[in-house]
Structure 1
């Protein structure tokens, strides 16, 4: 049966099979009990579930067919048929003998060489998982909206604020009007000025940061196109987002707080967003970027009155 499922057409916009387990882990905290039971059954035995009808799977888990279909859609698939294709792909991926990703806690007495190795492994895992979960269709729509925007406002608090500032300065250098707001009061007062044709971007790993949600909601109500970059795509922030870009994180530990891991995934998403915008606006972006390089070049040139440093 699995072989037959593999031959079924899969919508290229659906998450790749390897992303299924990652999606379940990411969304598990926000799932209802019944949906969570279905999701855990799927990743617990992808090969077995791929061969089951929706009726049989619902009976096995002790829930309704509607809940199974709803679980498929929450995980990013158009329906149960697409989900079965992903299950078969996940089973084949697991059977290929690839080693599972490893996340290692950093101990207080770890040698610095081990710290480097563990952090590098965790960051690589976060990047790979975020890329696997990336909704390319949503990303494309976000790129299109920002490329033609009159103005781009970015909202973030704490570590997400730093990511927002990075995106804003990149956009400024290719000629877009972009602002990263760090004060939640100013963020709201600026959001009031947005309108159709503008873009507002909220960055929040939890998806429930009120200081980020409030200006996004205001921008949404004013008719601006809204984008959420979040680790919780079904959280409160998604209610006011036209486009949701999901990030993932590795496991939090005492010496590796969640903000460190979430930042890695967020930076990948904003880099993808920026490069996509630069591609679409290349004719005006290239001269703007060249001009910014020229304007700053003298600040990086050696001072002729001082000997160069070794």
Structure 2
């Protein structure tokens, strides 16, 4: 079983490219953040230039942008099409719309620490709706189906995604879906190798390139288990290896920004909402499990 909706490969002069397959109303920066690492070098230079000066790009023709970047006009057009637009004019319109919406949402800092904090939170919040722009109905339905029918659920997460794995395990157990997670990379690989058909291995990796997580994924696949990846980039080692990839575009605008200013808040938010959907999906079983969890929590509170 392979993910049906993550990316569409097509050939151009012998090279494989990847096109946007997420929500049609997703803004340009979300598409670029998810796809940039997988684009051809020339296209990547184009989208990097767009991110550096979105307002300037709106005013440029395809030829002007090509001259500024040092590529051919067809590369600019291919970049726009890889992002899911019919052509460069449609990308310019989408950029103008995105900038207008951000202008309404942004809050300027007043120069104080508290003001800078408020402005940062406002910028962050304005982009949160885009975190689900790469997910489709099929993605979510398949995830819920696999999770509900699994004999065992093993969660793998390492590095900066480790806390997200722990959070997912706690939420799944509270929702009546027993799940397990091991902290040691070797123990993870051993457990993954023993899963077998009918089990599900959920891997959380923002970068999509964590070596320990990839080793665990390979062991899980070799055992016959289904592997689900939750990651930030549509074409990454983790997404390519998974049977189902849930791509959550990063809040930061590029792979480099994501490495320097790493944030896992978007993935955490999506995970929380997926568990809420899972509880609804299970109907009465989900409500009973939630009630049992609340009962335990309530008994542990002091007056």
What is aligned with 2:97? 93
Gap runs ≥5 in structure 1: 1-12, 53-59, 303-310
* Number of residue pairs aligned between Structure 1 and Structure 2: 271
Q: Is structure 2 residue 27 aligned with structure 1 residue 19?
A: yes
Within-5 A mapping of 1:1-310:
14-37=22-45, 39=47, 45=57, 62=72, 72=81, 75=83, 77=84, 81=86, 87=91, 90=94, 93-94=97-98, 99=103, 111-247=112-248, 248-250=250-252, 261-302=262-303
Deviation string, structure 1 residues 68-121 (Cα, Å, up to 9, x no partner): 669745x4x4xx65x67963761562585651775999xxxx744225313422
Answer with 17-26 or 180-189: which moved more.
Answer: 17-26
Gap runs ≥5 in structure 2: 1-20, 64-69
Q: CA deviation at 1:191?
A: 0.3
The answer to whether the Cα contact below 8 Å between 1:229 and 1:245 also exists between their aligned partners in 2 is yes
Indicate the SS of the match to 2:220. helix
Q: CA deviation at 1:281?
A: 0.9
Q: C-alpha separation between the residues in 2 aligned to 1:175 and 1:139?
A: 19
Q: TM-score, normalised by structure 1?
A: 0.71
Answer with 136-145 or 181-190: which moved more.
Answer: 136-145
Q: C-alpha separation between the residues in 2 aligned to 1:200 and 1:241?
A: 10
Indicate the SS of the match to 2:264. helix
Considering only CA atoms, is the larger Rg found in Structure 1 or Structure 2?
1
RMSD: 3.9
Q: CA deviation at 1:48?
A: 8.1
What is aligned with 1:56? none
- Greater RCO between the two (CA within 8 Å, min separation 6)? 2
The answer to whether the Cα contact below 8 Å between 1:126 and 1:249 also exists between their aligned partners in 2 is yes
From the superposition, tell whether residues 160 and 125 of structure 1 become closer, same or farther in structure 2 (CA, over 3 Å).
farther
Q: C-alpha separation between the residues in 1 aligned to 2:273 and 2:103?
A: 27
